[in-house]
Structure 1
Amino acid sequence: MSYPETIKVGFSPCPNDTFIFGALAQGLFTPRLRYETFIQDVETLNELALEGKLPLTKLSFGVFPAVISTYELLPVGAALGFGCGPLLVARKKPVNLARIRMAVPGLHTTAYLLLRFYLPELGQVVPLRYEKIIPAVVKGEVEAGLLIHEGRFVYQQYGLTALVDLGKWWEKETRLPLPLGGVFIKRDLPYEIKRAVLADLRESLNLARKNKAALWDFIRENAQELNPEVINKHLETFVNHYTYDLGEQGRKAVEVFLKWCQSRGLLEDLPQKFLFDGEAV
Structure 2
Amino acid sequence: MKDYAIKPSTLLVAHSPDADDIFMYYAIKFGWVSPPVPFDNIALDIETLNEAALAGTYDVTAISFALYPKIRNDYALLRTAVSFGEGYGPKLIKRKGTRLRRNFKVALSGRHTTNAMLFRIAYPEARIVYKNFLDIEKAVLEGEVHAGVLIHESILDFDESLEVEREIWDIWRELAGRELPLPLGGMALRRSIPLTRAIAVENALIRAVDVADRHRHLLARMLLERHLVRIDADTLDTYLDLYANDKSVTMDAAQLEALNRLFQIGYEHGFYECPIDAEDFMIPTEYLSERFS
Give the alignment's TM-score, normalised by structure 1: 0.92
Tell me by how many angstroms 1:277 deviates.
Answer: 5.3
The residue type equivalent to 1:13 in the other structure is P
Mapping 1:116-265, distance limit 5 Å:
116-123=120-127, 125-155=128-158, 157-174=159-176, 175-216=179-220, 219-220=223-224, 221-224=227-230, 226-265=231-270
Residue 222 of structure 1 aligns to which amino acid in structure 2?
A: L
Question: SS at the partner of 2:281?
Answer: coil
- Sort the Cα spacing of 1:236 and 1:193 in 2 relative to 1 into closer, same or farther, 3 A: same
Question: Which among 275, 286, 291 is matched to residue 279 of structure 1?
Answer: 286
Asked if 1:90 is matched to 2:94, the reply is: yes
CA shift, 1:2, in A, is 5.3
Aligned partners of 2:66 and 2:262 also within 8 Å: no
Match of 2:54 in 1: 50
Root mean square deviation of aligned Cα = 1.9
Aligned twin of 2:85 = 81
* TM superposition shift of 1:48: 0.3
| Superimposed CA distance per residue, residues 82-113 of structure 1 (whole angstroms, 9 cap, x where no aligned partner) | 12321000112443353222111111111111
Aligned residues with identical type, % of pairs: 28
Residues 12 and 159 (structure 1), Cα distance of their counterparts in 2 relative to 1, 3 Å cut? same
Query: Cα 1:3–1:268, aligned 2, differ >3 Å: closer, same or farther?
Result: farther
In the alignment, residue 282 of structure 2 is paired with which amino acid?
A: L
- Mapped to 2, the partners of 1:117 and 1:183 lie a distance apart of 24
Structure 1 unaligned runs (5+)?
Answer: none
CA contact (8 A) 1:130 1:147 kept: yes
TM-score, with structure 2 as normaliser: 0.88
Q: Which runs of 5+ in 2 are unaligned?
A: none
SS in 2 for 1:106: coil
AA of the residue aligned to 1:133: I
Between 208-217 and 65-74, report the one with greater CA deviation: 208-217
Distance in 1 (alpha carbons) for counterparts of 2:217 and 2:165: 36
User: 4+ residue stretches of structure 1 with deviation over 3 A?
Assistant: 1-4, 217-220
- Residue 88 of structure 1 aligns to a residue whose secondary structure is strand
Please tell me the residue identity of whatever aligns with 2:258: A
Alpha-carbon shift at residue 34 of structure 1 (Å): 0.9
- The 8 Å contact of residues 213 and 246 in structure 2, kept in 1 or not, is answered as no
Aligned residue for 1:24, secondary structure, equals: helix
Q: Distance in 2 between matches of 1:70 and 1:84?
A: 31
Amino acid at match of 1:12: S
Distance 1:252 1:101 in 2: 33
Q: CA deviation at 1:217?
A: 5.2
- Residue by residue over 1:200-240, the C-alpha shift from the partner in whole angstroms, topping out at 9 and shown as x without a partner, is 1122112212222442256442333x221111111001123
- Please give the alpha-carbon distance, in whole angstroms, between the structure 1 residues aligned to 2:71 and 2:160: 36
The answer on whether the counterparts of 2:20 and 2:244 sit within 8 Å (CA) in structure 1 is yes
Alignment length, in residue pairs? 278
Mapped partners of 2:86, 2:284: distance in 1: 23
- Tell me which residue corresponds to 1:101: 105
Match of 2:45 in 1: 41
Moved more, 131-140 or 205-214: 205-214
CA contact (8 A) 2:82 2:187 kept: yes
- 1:271 deviates by 4.3
Output the CA distance in 1 between the equivalents of 2:142 and 2:234: 26
Distance 1:202 1:138, change over 3 A: same
Secondary structure of the residue aligned to 2:111 is coil
